[in-house]
C-alpha cells in the first residue's frame, strides 16, 4: 500500500477529529468522502486498503468505469458533479448517492431510471448559498417546493443538502454560508422531512464546515494529491 495515501487519510481523519472536538461533536458523526475524480482505480484500491469506503466522482463516465473495475470492493459510490439529463441513467444504475440534484427534472429521471432491484438512491439537493450566477444549485427560495417534490418520488430517498460556497479566505463569511445550509435543512425538517445529511466542506475548509454542522466532508487533494486532469 502506498504510504502516502494511507498517511494522508490518517491526517485528514485527525483534522476531522480536531474540528469535531472543538465543535463539541463526536468525530464519528462526520463521514469522510474521498473525492477520487481523475485518479486511477489503483489509487482507490490503496485508499480502500487503508479503510476508506466512500468515494466521490464528478464525471459520469469515470463513475461507471470505476464502479465496474472495482465491483468486488464494497464501495459506497457518491456522484457529486453537475448532472445533465442525458447522463442520469448511468448514475441511477451505479451510484448509491447523488449530491448535485438542483432541478426536479433530474430527480424525476433518476427516480424513473433507478433499477427496481436496487435500494433507494440517496439524494441531496444542491443549494446555491453564495448567490453567484455562475454557481450550480437551486436558490434558498426554490428549495422548500423542490424538497417536497423530490421527497415524494419513488426509488429515491431525500437525505439532505449540499453546497459549494465561493472560495474565500474570510472564515466568517464561509461559516455564514455553511450556517445558511444548516438553517435551511432545519427548516425543511420542521415541515415534515426527516433529513440527516449536510454535505459541506472540502480539503481547504472542512474545519469551518464541521463547526457549522457538516455531516459529510468531500476531500480530494488532501488525500490523493494534485489532480491529474485528462479531460
Q: Judging by DSSP bridges, how do beta strands 197-199 and 156-162 pair with one another?
A: parallel
Stretch among 111-120, 127-136, 188-197, 203-212 having the lowest mean pLDDT: 127-136
Angular region, 112: left φ>0, alpha ψ -120 to 50, beta rest:
alpha
> What is the residue whose three cell numbers read 431510471?
113
Residues 44 and 55: beta-carbon distance below 8 Å:
yes
Residues 177-205 as b or e (16 or more Cβ within 10 Å = b):
bbebbbebbeebeeeebebebbbbbbbeb
Residue 59 scores a pLDDT above 70: yes
Give the containing element (helix H, strand E) for 121: strand 121-126
CA angle (80 as vertex; 78, 83 as ends), nearest 5:
115
Residue 228 scores a pLDDT above 80: no
Residue 3 scores a pLDDT above 70: no
The whole-number pLDDT of residue 132 equals: 86
Query: pLDDT band at 76, cuts 50/70/90?
Result: very high
Q: How far apart are CA 71 and CA 65, in angstroms?
A: 10
> What is the residue whose three cell numbers read 485518479?
39
Beta bridge partners of 217: 32
227 or 62, which is more confident? 62
Give the containing element (helix H, strand E) for 42: helix 41-49
Residue 173 scores a pLDDT above 50: yes
CA angle (27 as vertex; 48, 14 as ends), nearest 5:
65
The pTM for the full model equals: 0.96
The whole-number pLDDT of residue 135 equals: 86
Stretch among 131-135, 176-180, 183-187 having the lowest mean pLDDT: 131-135
Residue 71 scores a pLDDT above 60: yes
Query: pLDDT band at 231, cuts 50/70/90?
Result: very low
Residue range 96-140, pLDDT digits in tens: 999 999 999 999 999 999 999 999 999 999 999 999 888 899 999
Query: pLDDT band at 2, cuts 50/70/90?
Result: low
Terminal alpha carbon distance of the chain: 27
The whole-number pLDDT of residue 1 equals: 54
Average pLDDT over residues 161-175: 95
Q: How far apart are CA 140 and CA 122, in angstroms?
A: 21
3-224 under CATH 3.20.20.10, yes or no: yes
> What is the residue whose three cell numbers read 477529529?
17
Beta bridge partners of 101: 125
The CA–CA distances, whole Å, from 197 to 30, 93, 133, 160, 220 equal 10, 22, 25, 5, 19
| Sign for the pseudo-dihedral over CA of 121, 70, 217, 28 | positive
Q: What is the DSSP letter of 118?
A: S
Stretch among 49-53, 77-81, 225-229 having the lowest mean pLDDT: 225-229
Amino acid at each position: 500500500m502506498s504510504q502516502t495515501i494511507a498517511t494522508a487519510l490518517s491526517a485528514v481523519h485527525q483534522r476531522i477529529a480536531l474540528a469535531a472536538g472543538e465543535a463539541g461533536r463526536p468525530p464519528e458523526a462526520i463521514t469522510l468522502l474521498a473525492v477520487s475524480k481523475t485518479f486511477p482505480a489503483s489509487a482507490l484500491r490503496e485508499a480502500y486498503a487503508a479503510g476508506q469506503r466512500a468515494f466521490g466522482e464528478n464525471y459520469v463516465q469515470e463513475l461507471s468505469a470505476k464502479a465496474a473495475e472495482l465491483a468486488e470492493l464494497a464501495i459506497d459510490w457518491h456522484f457529486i458533479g453537475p448532472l445533465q439529463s442525458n447522463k442520469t441513467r448511468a448514475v441511477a444504475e451505479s451510484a448509491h448517492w447523488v449530491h448535485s440534484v438542483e432541478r426536479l427534472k433530474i430527480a424525476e429521471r433518476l427516480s424513473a431510471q433507478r433499477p427496481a432491484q436496487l435500494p433507494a438512491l440517496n439524494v441531496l439537493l444542491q443549494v446555491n448559498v453564495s448567490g453567484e450566477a455562475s454557481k450550480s444549485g437551486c436558490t434558498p427560495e426554490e428549495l422548500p417546493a423542490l424538497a417536497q417534490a423530490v421527497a415524494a418520488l419513488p426509488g429515491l430517498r431525500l437525505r439532505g443538502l449540499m453546497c459549494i460556497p465561493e472560495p474565500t479566505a474570510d472564515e466568517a463569511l464561509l461559516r455564514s454560508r455553511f450556517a445558511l445550509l444548516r438553517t435551511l435543512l432545519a427548516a425543511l425538517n420542521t415541515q415534515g422531512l426527516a433529513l440527516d445529511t449536510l454535505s459541506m466542506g472540502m480539503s481547504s475548509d472542512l474545519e469551518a464546515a464541521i463547526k457549522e454542522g457538516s455531516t459529510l466532508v468531500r476531500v480530494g487533494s488532501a488525500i490523493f494529491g494534485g489532480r491529474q486532469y485528462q479531460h
